[in-house]
């Protein structure tokens, strides 16, 4: 009996992430130039580490309530109110944004329901939707003209809505494109959601990494359209992806349903780390933001002569096109030969025309990576 025959059928609907495969490869390489990473290259602030260690010593090692520590939930709501000017109705602490997305999809979607997701998309969306039996429809973000940025065409998005469409998923700032939604995009997406009674699921995990203009959130629009869930977390901004801590905010009845599911799955977020996270909101993380803006400039200025590349507006990724004359496979192999790790765009897209480069890396590695990429582009000509 093959392993496929021994496993549940749902396993046939999902596939391993191209990013994870990259991790396996890196483990075998000596001193790679790793621009494939989806997490900040700085460590957690000392204040958070100390608070978590103190919590372990003080005996906070038991279960917390399913929804998370009440004080932490309140701090998340205070934080959102202060930054976004509106206080969501309810909050659930989740096992990262990943946990929140899974619970929301389990709570809202029946098999056969359709969800609109962006293309390019964060790899998890397609696979988790497949797990819950939902159908994926993509709306295109690829710029129609150079310099236009990675933004949805709202008319095209509207045309994708069908009788079984239940939700629109948004991700701004975006992984893998670095693009961001504008206030007007959000307004138009909500108008579409209102017209068809759709849920909006907004993954705002990179909210802090916005380089050129203020980040536009769905949070202040929740009063206008209540069928909105917004996901955020500690992984990226505070450099603690291994802590598995995030939040979902939205209408209380749906968060209650997600909480019920959490009881039987994740149970609760790690207790001492929730105590550590209480220290997060008093910290000033702006020096990191400044450093990442500079890294963004380094990448964009370094590549723009030789690649078709949109200037990343947020997150810590760029999504340039392969230079003319190169196939995806040949380009990635040539990069690998020079010990440069990037992620093929086909891991995030129906197309295979671009690659993802993460600039969450030390400056010297970024500079080396940029040099190799320019060299490959010129060699291809
Ligand atoms: N959403 C996006 C767009 C991401 O890039 C990631 C992490 N790569 C996640 C969600 C998952 O984050 P978390 O660590 O909070 O589960």
Best substitution site from 96, 208, 360 to test ligand 1's pocket, by max atoms within 8 Å of Cβ?
Answer: 96
Residue-range domain boundaries for the chain: 3-44+285-379, 62-282
Please tell me if the CB atom of residue 178 comes closer than 6 angstroms to any atom of ligand 1: no
If DSSP states are collapsed to H, E and C, what string results for 173-211?
Answer: CCCCCCCCCCHHHHHHHHHHHHHHCCEEEEECCCCCCEC
171 close to ligand 1 (CB < 6 Angstrom): yes
| pTM summary value | 0.96
Q: Is 97 in the pocket of ligand 1 (CB under 6 A)?
A: yes
> Is the CATH number of domain 62-282 3.40.640.10?
yes
Tens-digit pLDDT profile for residues 3-37 = 888 999 899 888 876 556 666 777 788 889 999 99
Does the CB atom of residue 100 touch ligand 1 within 6 A? no
Residue 339 · residue 32 · CB < 8 Å: yes
Secondary-structure class of domain 3-44+285-379 per CATH: alpha beta
Q: What is the pLDDT of residue 78?
A: 98
User: How much distance in Å is there from the Cα of 243 to the middle of ligand 1?
Assistant: 12
| Number of helices (H), then strands (E), in the chain | 13, 12
355-358 vs 343-344, strand pairing mode: antiparallel
d(CA 120, ligand 1 centre) in Å: 15
CB of residue 95 inside a 6 A radius of ligand 1: no
Q: Is 172 in the pocket of ligand 1 (CB under 6 A)?
A: no
Q: 3-44+285-379 and 62-282 share one CATH topology?
A: no
Q: Verify whether ligand 1 is closer than 6 Å to residue 96 (CB atom).
A: yes
Confidence (pLDDT) at 1: 82
Pairing of strands 33-34, 135-140: unpaired
Q: For residue 100, what are its two tokens?
A: 């929140």
Give the whole-angstrom CA distance, residue 285 versus residue 10: 41
List per-block mean pLDDT (blocks of 10 residues) for the chain, which spans 381 residues.
87 76 73 93 97 98 98 98 96 98 98 98 96 97 96 96 98 98 97 97 98 97 95 98 98 98 98 98 96 98 97 98 94 94 96 97 97 93 58
Q: Report CA(241)–ligand 1 centroid distance (Å).
A: 8
Percentages helix, strand, coil for the chain (3-state, rounded to 5) are: 45, 15, 40
Strands of 343-344's sheet in order across: 317-318, 355-358, 343-344
pLDDT of 31: 87
Which pLDDT does position 57 carry in this prediction?
98
Could you give the CA distance from residue 58 to residue 304 in angstroms, rounded to a whole number?
53
Position in ligand 1 atom list of the atom nearest CA 122: 3
pLDDT tens-digit map of 52-73 = 999 999 999 999 999 999 999 9
Is any atom of ligand 1 closer than 6 Å to the C-beta of 118?
Answer: no
What separation in Å is there between the alpha carbon of 65 and the centre of ligand 1? 23
Residue 18: strand, helix, or coil: helix
How does pLDDT run across 211-266, given as a tens digit for each residue?
A: 999 999 999 999 999 999 999 999 999 999 999 999 999 999 999 999 999 999 99
Contact by Cβ (8 Å): 231, 246 = yes
Atom of ligand 1 nearest to the CA of 241: 14
23 to 20, 34, 85, 100: CA distances (angstroms): 5, 10, 39, 24
């Amino acid at each position: 009996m093959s392993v496929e025959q021994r496993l549940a059928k749902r396993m046939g609907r999902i596939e391993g992430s191209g990013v994870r495969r990259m991790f396996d490869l890196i483990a075998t390489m000596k001193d790679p130039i790793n621009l494939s990473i989806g997490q900040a290259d700085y460590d957690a602030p000392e204040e958070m580490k100390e608070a978590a260690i103190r919590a372990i010593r003080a005996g906070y090692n038991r279960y917390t309530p399913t929804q998370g520590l009440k004080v932490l939930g309140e701090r998340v709501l205070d934080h959102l109110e202060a930054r976004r000017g509106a206080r969501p109705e309810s909050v659930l602490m989740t096992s990262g944004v990943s946990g929140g997305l899974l619970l929301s999809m389990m709570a809202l979607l029946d098999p056969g329901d359709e969800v609109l997701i962006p293309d390019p998309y964060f790899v998890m969306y397609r696979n988790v939707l497949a797990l819950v039996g939902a159908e994926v429809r993509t709306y295109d973000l690829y710029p129609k003209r150079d310099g236009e940025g990675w933004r949805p065409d709202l008319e095209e998005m509207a045309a994708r809505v069908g009788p079984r469409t239940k939700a629109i998923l948004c991700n701004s700032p975006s992984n893998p494109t670095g693009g961001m939604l504008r206030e007007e995009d959000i307004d138009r997406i909500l108008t579409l959601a209102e017209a068809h009674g759709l849920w909006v699921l907004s993954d705002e995990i990179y909210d802090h990494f916005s380089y050129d203009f203020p980040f536009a959130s769905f949070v202040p629009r929740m009063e206008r359209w209540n069928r909105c869930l917004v996901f955020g977390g500690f992984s990226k901004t505070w450099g603690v992806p291994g802590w598995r801590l995030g939040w979902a905010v939205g209408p209380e009845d749906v968060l209650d349903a997600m909480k019920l599911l959490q009881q039987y799955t994740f149970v609760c977020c790690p207790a001492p780390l929730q105590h550590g996270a209480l220290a997060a909101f008093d910290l000033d993380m702006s020096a990191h933001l400044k450093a990442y803006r500079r890294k963004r400039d380094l990448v964009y200025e370094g590549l723009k002569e030789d690649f078709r590349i949109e200037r990343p507006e947020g997150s810590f990724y760029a999504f340039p096109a392969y230079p003319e004359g190169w196939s995806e496979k040949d380009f990635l192999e040539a990069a690998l030969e020079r010990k440069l790790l990037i992620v093929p765009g086909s891991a995030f897209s129906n197309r295979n025309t671009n690659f993802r480069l993460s600039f969450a890396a030390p400056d010297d590695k970024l500079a080396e990576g940029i040099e190799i990429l320019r060299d490959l582009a010129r060699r291809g000509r």
